[in-house]
Chains A and B, each alone.
Chain A
Amino acid sequence: MKRFTIAFLAAYIFLFVWGWLINGVLLKDIYAESAHLWRPENEMRSLFHWIIIGQALIVFGFVMIYASGFAGGGMIAGIRLGLLLEIAAIGMCLGFYAVQPIPAKLIFYGSIGGIIEMVIVGAMVGAIYKPAPAGSSSQ
């Protein structure tokens, strides 16, 4: 449980900072080109807690999946899990692109950012979370 919590916290902090860097700084101009699709900035700020809950849910689900089926494989297993989840998520993004007038370059750069993000999250979780030794119930 202790390693689960540490893995969760480390991955969450990274996801939060990376999300801000990608969406709040690097892709800012592309978001501005499609302003009609987004809430005004003051409205986003008042709903910021949903972003925090959403990111926490992503990381919690990730660590749960890793702990229940990939633990023991270390960083490589974590990276593999991150890649599989993110590429499937890119499929979902293509579905959104088909129905929403989101700029194609936002999907493209967002997907690259997402792959880097999930590879690093996977490596962190894989490096931190270790399965409990046989006969132990401490994890």
Chain B
Amino acid sequence: MNWKKFFFAFLGAFVFLFVFGFLWYATLMHDAHREVPTLLRPEADLKSYFGWLALGQFVMAFFFTLLCARYVPSGRAGAGAMLGLLVGLVYAGPHLISFAVQPLTFKILFGWIAGAVIQFAIAGAIVGAIYKPANEHIMYVREPSH
């Protein structure tokens, strides 16, 4: 594991997930979320829970980057995006389950699913582009001198 590259890849993923989360879930989906006010904390309370949100994004970005780094065919942005897409599908599953047990609207369900798939595909591409696999399989052999 190249920890220096890992650190920069994690940083890139964390910043992207944070900004995307704010734009997608807090801004674009703001009105959709307000259609189910009983499911959300009052806006005045949100600030006091911001630390949990930041910690959650940190944990998510760290372990997602670790997953990308461990992914065997991790060959740059394309493979990272493909892995991110699959991770987005895995996380879309719990959203469907949430829809069955919580009084969410279809608009929220589709917004969450699209958000998960898009954000992890892009985050995967970012991690893949920054954390390029080391060429461990390449061996340099000195040619015999004649």
Contacts and interface: CB of A to CB of B under 8 A. Distances in A.
Interface of A: 36-39, 43-44, 47-48, 50-51, 53-58, 60-62, 64-65, 68-70, 72, 80-81, 84-85, 87-101
Contacts of B94: 54, 58, 89
24 contacts: A37-B39, A44-B100, A44-B101, A51-B100, A54-B93, A54-B100, A57-B90, A60-B89, A64-B86, A69-B71, A69-B74, A70-B71, A85-B67, A88-B60, A89-B94, A90-B59, A91-B55, A91-B61, A92-B56, A94-B53, A95-B21, A95-B57, A96-B56, A100-B39
B66 A84 contact: yes
Interface residues of B, number: 45
Nearest to B96: A54
B110 interface: no
A98 B91 CA distance: 18
A101 B36 CA distance: 13
A127 B39 CA distance: 40
B41 A95 contact: no
Contacts of B89: 57, 60-61, 64
B40 A99 contact: yes
A48 B99 CA distance: 10
Nearest to B109: A50
B103 A80 contact: no
Given A50-B96, A69-B71, A99-B49, A94 B101 contact: no
Nearest to B26: A99
Contact of A91 (B56, B73, B74): B56
A106 B86 CA distance: 27
Contacts of A39: 100-103
Contacts, number: 144
Interface in B47-105: 49-50, 52-53, 55-64, 66-67, 70-74, 82-83, 86-87, 89-97, 99-103
B94 to A, nearest CB: 7
A50 B21 contact: no
B135 interface: no
A65 B38 CA distance: 36
Contacts of A57: 89-90, 92-93, 96
Nearest to B113: A57
Given A65-B86, A94-B55, 4 more contacts: A50-B97, A61-B90, A81-B70, A95-B52
B46 A99 contact: yes
A58 B90 contact: yes
B102 A97 contact: no
Scoring B52, B62, B66 by chain A CB atoms within 10 A of each residue's CB, the highest score goes to: B52
A54 B7 CA distance: 33
